[in-house]
């Protein structure tokens, strides 16, 4: 088990938004490696740019300009950054990438129990029925699966509109645009839920620091990811 001393400092504003950082001397366990954290924040920046510039296409006043102007260029740059960095991460850390993908697709009875217990847990704070979770809980598995599925849809339809405009038929182009829009709305909706649960939800306060520093408290790990915590305790 990797341990570290909590040394992060926070301002009253960051404390109010993201929760308190680890207390000095509190036992920590490593949860996210540096490559994972870099991938996460590069993707976060790219997604923000993609969402903002993509939204312009839904506003008639900006639609024409967005297609070929600065916002259109930024949209393409952000798309290349997002895909390119994911590819670099995959080939740079193939074992970690495949392990994450494999865990997202690995479902069992505990995941069904989690889905049944989650509404009462997140809305009412009832923890008794929540089953112990591994490194990735069921909600995170759903997020991974959604990003893989909807992200693939966005990449394919975006590539068709960018590189094959004038080559594919008008109907194929319009269908690509339609599914790209559907993917945009779905991803934006799920991303907002992801941000809320990861940053603002009372039960998850302080998780932001895990992706920022790479560690979580042993107390949090045991409470939220007991299966994983028990494994690393033995290692």
Beta bridge partners of 30: 215
Q: What local confidence, expressed as pLDDT, does residue 71 receive?
A: 83
Q: What local confidence, expressed as pLDDT, does residue 4 receive?
A: 47
Task: Specify the pTM.
Answer: 0.83
CATH architecture classification, 12-33+94-234: Up-down Bundle (1.20)
Quickly tell me which residue has 């040394």 as its tokens: 7
Whether the pLDDT of residue 66 is over 80: the answer is: no
Q: Nearest to residue 31, comparing CAs of 62, 4, 49?
A: 4
Domain boundaries, the chain: 12-33+94-234, 41-92
Tens of pLDDT, residue by residue over 198-213, are 888 888 876 888 999 9
Q: How many residues does the chain have?
A: 235
CA dist 154 and 195 (Å) reads 20
% of the chain residues with pLDDT over 70: 85
Label residue 26 by pLDDT band (50, 70, 90). Answer: confident
């Amino acid at each position: 088990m990797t341990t570290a001393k909590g040394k992060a400092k926070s301002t009253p504003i960051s404390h109010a938004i993201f929760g308190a950082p680890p207390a000095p001397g509190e036992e920590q366990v490593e949860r996210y490696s540096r490559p994972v954290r870099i991938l996460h924040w590069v993707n976060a920046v790219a997604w923000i740019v993609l969402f903002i510039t993509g939204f312009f296409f839904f506003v008639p006043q900006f639609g024409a300009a967005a297609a070929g102007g600065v916002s259109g260029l930024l949209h393409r740059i952000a798309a290349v950054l997002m895909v390119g960095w994911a590819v670099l991460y995959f080939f740079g850390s193939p074992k970690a990438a495949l392990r994450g993908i494999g865990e997202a697709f690995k479902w069992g009875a505990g995941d069904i129990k989690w889905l049944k217990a989650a509404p009462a847990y997140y809305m009412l704070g009832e923890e008794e029925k929540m089953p112990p979770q591994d490194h990735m809980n069921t909600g995170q598995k759903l997020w991974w699966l959604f990003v893989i599925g909807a992200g693939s849809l966005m990449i394919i339809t975006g590539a068709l509109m960018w590189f094959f405009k004038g080559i594919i038929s008008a109907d194929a182009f319009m269908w690509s645009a339609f599914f790209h829009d559907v993917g945009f709305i779905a991803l934006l909706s799920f991303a907002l839920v992801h941000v809320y649960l990861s940053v603002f939800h009372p039960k998850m306060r302080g998780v932001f620091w895990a992706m920022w520093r790479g560690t979580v408290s042993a107390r949090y790990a045991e409470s939220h990811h007991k299966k994983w915590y028990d494994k690393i305790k033995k290692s």
